[in-house]
Structure 1
Amino acid sequence: MNSLLNIARQSAWNRRSTLVWVVVSLALATALLWTLERLRHDIRHSFSQSVSGVDLIVGARSSPVQLMLFSVFHIGSVPQSMSMDSVHKLAQHRSVSWVVPLSLGDSHRGFPVLGTTPAYFQHFAYGDKQPLVLQQGAVFADTLDGLYEAVIGAEVARKMGYGLGQSITLGHGLHDHDHDHEAEGNKEDEHADKPFKVVGILAPTGTPVDRTVHVSLQALEALHLGWVAGTPMPGGHIPADQARKFNLQPEEVTAALVGLKSRAAVFNVQRFVNLYEDEALMGVMPGVALGELWSVLGLGENALLAVSALVALVSVVSLMAVVLAGLNERRRELAVLRAVGAGPRHVLGLLTLEGLWVTCAGVLLGVLLAYASMALATPWLQQSLGIRLQLAAPLPTQLALAGCVLLAGWLASLGPAWRAYRMSLADGLSPRV
């Protein structure tokens, strides 16, 4: 058996100029399947780990997925606001343990700005109920003295080079990282008269928190004094120090995170929110909203996997075509093997092992290519989309996909091998022209 393996390996190596392209095509197909499966797994894991310990997300009635994406992941368009009166009444519900209001809509150099209260840092959790931890500094003070204080995420600090005491200005509206610096500068100038001081930097979490600037709700109100419908009024400019003299309690917020005294009460509180009479509200369970999101994205995932499978199929078919095309040229070689004592089963085994060698080489090269591409793409994915690909041990599904490619390559080599098996010794010594 070992001698047959060596012969198959050497035979494939002697025809490397032809088979190298088959190996490359198999490697690309394997790398595509391997990377897509890891990307699919890590995206789901990243989304599912972004918030925990929150029983309900409450906001104005809209799409559950839209409310979830904007309030937690800061993705999508700004939904309608809910009144602070509703937030206070929700907090008074007998089954509610805590409520954390959220206000979004501003940004800093492409990073979203989240207005909230210090309770956010106490109750918000990620992963397996891991709390937020300050790497440096402290939480902003919920007083007028600490009105212009900010706590930034780890990614904001790393990418912008910020430290404690850094002065930053906020811009109106949400903007992408890809905007040119001049346009971003113009947006930052909208609130340049009210600079903020970085008083805290959060430890990395691998969630959207890393890319968020956190300020108080009163700070956002101070920024927009003299603004109407998102536009500054002529002559309505109010200096930073004078803003403290106004009532800065917000009338509206974007959404609220809700924690319950008992998980068993989640449906009762959700019914209370959905039937709330003063305004149209909606309570969303994060897990259910993520399930709806995956049901929509599942079609795209399946389409990508189908395309990858077709690429792998084409590569396997090309392997069979190359081996078949070379059979006529190899008839004398096979006849010589028969003449020195190799039986038909040896010829069958030789060609199947040769196909298996080529397939193994393609799969191994594809796995290495996949890991290399993931290592190169991870920094960009983390900065742009907040997705970190794990360069960890292979997933069971990844191994299954690689096994499917190996099996398909072996099966594809059976056709040419069976044809060679049926070749007679006389046919090999007297080839047709």
Structure 2
Amino acid sequence: DPIVIAHGAGSVSFVKHGDKPFVVAGVLKPTGTPVDRTIHVSLEGIEAIHVDWQEGMPVQGQTISDEQARTMDLTPRQITAFLVKLKSPMATFGVQRMVNNYREEPLSAILPGVALQQLWEITGVAEKTLMAVSSFVVVVGMLGMLTALLTSLNERRREMAILRSIGARPLHVFILIIGEAMGITLLGILLGVVMLYGLLVVAKPVVLSMFGFYLAIGGISAYEALLMGVIFLAGTLIGIVPGWCIYRYSLADGMTVRI
């Protein structure tokens, strides 16, 4: 299939190399990285499509066909960037210093790992912001559960009094309320995990086809398990408040008929 390279951004093309299209020679094995969305061409091919260009624009009235371009010397005279893999990692900083101090040409050697680390430091601010928002969501959810349990206590006084009258101890009633809070919290955690993995399964092929990113679906990490444990503990502690209130209600208060 022919592919026409164009100058532009995204779906907007300013100038196209329609007179010298490339032909797909093969498809590489998927790697699950953004490389899967790239097209690899030779440096000679880039030189060929620009032989009738000057200063970034095609020369008016001058057209060189692809057959004529093949007969020309297409050795690249300059390149913008290239990736170098060293045999010995110990020589990394020495080579970087040598390239940066090279006086014959204005060159700059960049370590991809360091550049990516700086990028993650920038995006780390957004990650911390999302973590803060998530924390507020958890707090609001806990307060909502506490409000619901406290609101239902008046309607459940008679129920708890009946349990007390048939032999349930105050501690049993206390544990019952805390168990309810623990159950609600655990159900919320399990529902969140199921929704997360369900969303990942649905979004995985879409993200891979549109952006070239492979979403690896793994198990729950130790950090995530710790967060879920903290949320479960917070839900349990929230249940102590209504549990203590119902613990203090007397049997007579629950059985009294109010007019």
TM range (shorter): over 0.9
Q: Name the residue aligned to 1:115.
A: none
Q: Name the structure 2 match of 1:173.
A: 7
Residue 396 of structure 1 corresponds to 222
Question: For each residue in 1:327-362, what CA deviation from the matched residue of structure 2 results, as whole angstroms up to 9, or x when unmatched?
Answer: 011111111111111111111100000111111112
Deviation at 1:258, TM superposition (A): 1.4
Instruction: Provide the C-alpha distance between the structure 2 equivalents of 1:306 and 1:391, rounded to a whole number of angstroms.
Output: 24
1:212 deviates by: 1.0
Rounded to whole Å, the distance in 1 between the matches of 2:240 and 2:225 is: 23
Match of 1:341 in 2: 167
Does the 8 Å CA contact 2:51/2:69 hold for their aligned counterparts? yes
Amino acid in the other structure paired with 1:372: G
Cα displacement string for residues 58-77 of structure 1 (whole angstroms, at most 9, x for unaligned residues): xxxxxxxxxxxxxxxxxxxx
**Greater relative CO, 1 or 2 (CA 8 Å, sep 6+):** 1
The CA distance in 2 between the partners of 1:304 and 1:355, in whole Å, is: 26
Separation in structure 2 between the aligned mates of residue 352 and residue 303 of structure 1, nearest angstrom: 32
Deviation readout 1:369-407 (Å, 9 max, x if unpaired): 111111111223223333222223222222222222222
1:169 deviates by 2.4
Q: Following the alignment from structure 2 to structure 1, what is the Cα–Cα distance between the partners of residues 184 and 190?
A: 10
The 8 Å contact of residues 48 and 74 in structure 2, kept in 1 or not, is answered as yes
> Please, which runs of 5 or more residues in structure 2 have no aligned partner?
none
In structure 2, do the counterparts of structure 1 residues 318 and 423 end up closer, same or farther at CA, with 3 Å as the change threshold?
same
1:251–1:431: structure 2 CA closer, same or farther, 3 Å change rule?
farther
**Helix, strand or coil: the match of 1:202?**
coil
Deviation of 1:222 (Å): 0.5
Distance, in Å, in 2 between the alignment partners of 1:428 and 1:222 is 91
SS in 2 for 1:173: strand
1:331 aligns with 2:142: no
Where does 1:201-212 land on structure 2 (aligned, <5 Å)?
201-212=27-38
Q: How many pairs align?
A: 259
Shift of 1:281: 2.1
Range that drifts further, 235-244 or 257-266: 257-266
Partners of 2:33 and 2:214 within 8 A in 1? no
Q: Which of 271, 287, 312 is matched with 2:138 structurally?
A: 312
The runs of 5 or more residues in structure 1 that have no matched partner are: 1-166
Distance apart, 1:174 and its partner CA: 4.8
Q: Is 2:94 aligned against 1:268?
A: yes
Which residue identity does 2:115 align to in structure 1?
Answer: A
User: What amino acid does structure 2 have at the position aligned with 1:337?
Assistant: L
**1:40-119 equivalence runs, <5 A:** none
The offset of 1:216, in angstroms, is: 0.7
Normalised TM-score (structure 2)? 0.92
Q: Which residue of 2 aligns with 1:426?
A: 252
Q: Runs in 1 of length 4+ with deviation above 3 angstroms?
A: none
Secondary structure in 2 matching 1:247: coil
1:301 aligns with 2:130: no
Equivalent residue letter for 1:310? F
1:135-150 to structure 2, matched below 5 A, reads: none
- TM-score (normalised: structure 1): 0.57
AA in 2 matched with 1:220: I
Q: CA RMSD in A?
A: 1.9
SS in 2 for 1:205: coil
SS of aligned partner of 2:109: strand
| Offset at residue 431 of structure 1 (A) | 7.0
3-state SS in 2 of match to 1:416: helix
Deviations 1:102-143 (A, max 9, x none): xxxxxxxxxxxxxxxxxxxxxxxxxxxxxxxxxxxxxxxxxx
Q: Which structure is larger by alpha-carbon Rg, 1 or 2?
A: 2
CA contact (8 A) 1:320 1:416 kept: yes
Amino acid at match of 2:47: E
Secondary structure in 2 matching 1:284: coil
Tell me which moved more, 212-221 or 275-284.
275-284
Query: Where is the strand percentage greater, Structure 1 or Structure 2?
Result: 1
The Cα of 1:208 is off from its aligned counterpart by 2.2
Q: Matched residues in 1 for 2:197 and 2:87: separation?
A: 45
Which of the two has greater helix per residue?
2
Specify the code of the residue in structure 1 equivalent to 2:161. Answer: A
